[in-house]
């Protein structure tokens, strides 16, 4: 059966870029159709009835018309605008990071209901969670898992023997944790404390509610973040743009705190 000329889908807008006189190309993420690039005509005009519904990080229902190259937005309505994300730079920078990760990890036109669910849940959590970085860690671990890059945290990625309850190493290029005797000469391997290993396992196995109950001190949170980030960078083979903005806000926040 040929695809219908007009169809309706729920979507989260991931990013947008200007196109032509007053149009935009949007990258949207849908539960059934996966990631798509669609064209929204005239949305840069102030009189556009759609532009407000098509801002990045909005969950909306879209009416799409099939086009020659890309589908065109024919109508839209906001379901959830995640307003708290738009009013706080810390939350916004982290939400944009999730959008960028989804954009980089998921292939076009491949459905994935769990990943869509994860994105929407994460945006909701970022809207009201106290510790937004913990929300991000859970999101990162789940996303790499769902995309087929689950890091090995039970046995050594080098020799396959069970990891001892002691300080080990984390080697993204080997696919996860490695034991002390295998770490020699491994590129990019970093020391992995026992506590960080436990947190990484927790992120991998438990639900968000269990993870949210855990309180980490700054050093441990930083270590977990560094390991997950290095794993993501090695899978993507590139840096994630939005991290530099998060880092900058953090640096400036710390400097401001010192001045006060």
Taking CB under 8 A as the criterion, which residues in 124-183 touch another protein?
none
Q: Can residue 241 be called a binding residue for another protein (CB under 8 A)? A: yes
For another protein, which is the closer residue by CB, 100 or 145? 100
The residue among 129, 153, 125 whose CA lies nearest residue 141 is 153
Stretch that binds another protein, among 34-42, 98-106, 167-175, 215-223 (CB under 8 A): 98-106
Q: Can residue 7 be called a binding residue for another protein (CB under 8 A)? A: no
Using an 8 Å Cβ cutoff, are 73 and 55 in contact? no
Q: Can residue 257 be called a binding residue for another protein (CB under 8 A)? A: no
Torsion of CA 181, 187, 188, 191, to 10 degrees: 20
- Selected binder of another protein within 53, 59, 137, 227 (CB under 8 A): 53
For another protein, which is the closer residue by CB, 53 or 142? 53
Q: How many CB atoms lie within 10 A of CB 239?
A: 11
C-alpha gyration radius of the chain: 20
Residue 40's contacts (CB-CB under 8 Å, 6 or more residues apart) are 16, 23, 24, 25, 26, 50, 51, 54, 72, 73
List C-alpha distances in Å: 224 to 9, 29, 101, 191: 36, 28, 17, 11
Stretch that binds another protein, among 30-38, 94-102, 131-139, 215-223 (CB under 8 A): 94-102
Stretch that binds another protein, among 83-91, 117-125, 172-180, 213-221 (CB under 8 A): 83-91
- Selected binder of another protein within 1, 2, 3, 47 (CB under 8 A): 47
Angle made by CA atoms 159, 164, 169, in degrees to the nearest 5? 65
Q: Can residue 25 be called a binding residue for another protein (CB under 8 A)? A: no
Decide the pairing of beta strands 168-171 and 71-80: unpaired
- Selected binder of another protein within 7, 25, 149, 245 (CB under 8 A): 245
The residue among 155, 146, 149, 132 whose CA lies nearest residue 249 is 132
Nearest approach, Cβ of residue 22 and another protein (Å): 12
For another protein, which is the closer residue by CB, 193 or 243? 243
- Tokens 């937004």 belong to 132
Residues that bind another protein (CB under 8 A): 14-15, 17, 20-21, 46-47, 49, 51-53, 55-57, 78, 81, 83, 86-89, 92-93, 96-97, 99-100, 103, 241-242, 244-246, 248, 252, 256, 259
């Amino acid at each position: 059966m040929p695809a219908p000329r007009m169809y309706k889908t729920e979507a989260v807008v991931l990013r947008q870029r200007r196109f032509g006189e007053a149009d935009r190309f949007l990258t949207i993420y849908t539960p059934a159709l996966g990631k798509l690039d669609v064209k929204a005509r005239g949305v840069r005009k102030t009189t556009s009835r759609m532009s407000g519904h098509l801002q990045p990080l909005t969950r909306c229902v879209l009416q799409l018309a099939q086009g020659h190259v890309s589908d065109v937005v024919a109508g839209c309505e906001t379901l959830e605008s995640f307003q708290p994300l738009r009013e706080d730079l810390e939350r916004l920078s982290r939400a944009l990071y999730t959008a960028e990760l989804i954009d980089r990890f998921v292939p076009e036109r491949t459905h994935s209901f769990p990943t869509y669910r994860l994105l929407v849940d994460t945006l909701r959590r970022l809207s009201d969670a106290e510790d937004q970085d913990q929300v991000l860690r859970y999101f990162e671990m789940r996303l790499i898992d769902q995309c087929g890059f689950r890091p090995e945290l039970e046995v050594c990625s080098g020799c396959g023997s069970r990891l001892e309850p002691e300080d080990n190493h984390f080697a993204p290029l080997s696919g996860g944790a490695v034991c002390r005797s295998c770490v020699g000469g491994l590129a990019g391997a970093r020391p992995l404390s026992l506590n960080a290993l436990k947190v990484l396992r927790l992120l991998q196995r438990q639900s968000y509610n269990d993870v949210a109950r855990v309180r980490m001190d700054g050093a441990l949170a930083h270590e977990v973040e560094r390991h997950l980030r290095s794993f993501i960078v090695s899978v993507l083979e590139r840096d994630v743009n939005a991290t530099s903005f998060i880092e900058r806000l953090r640096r400036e926040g710390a400097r401001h705190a010192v001045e006060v």
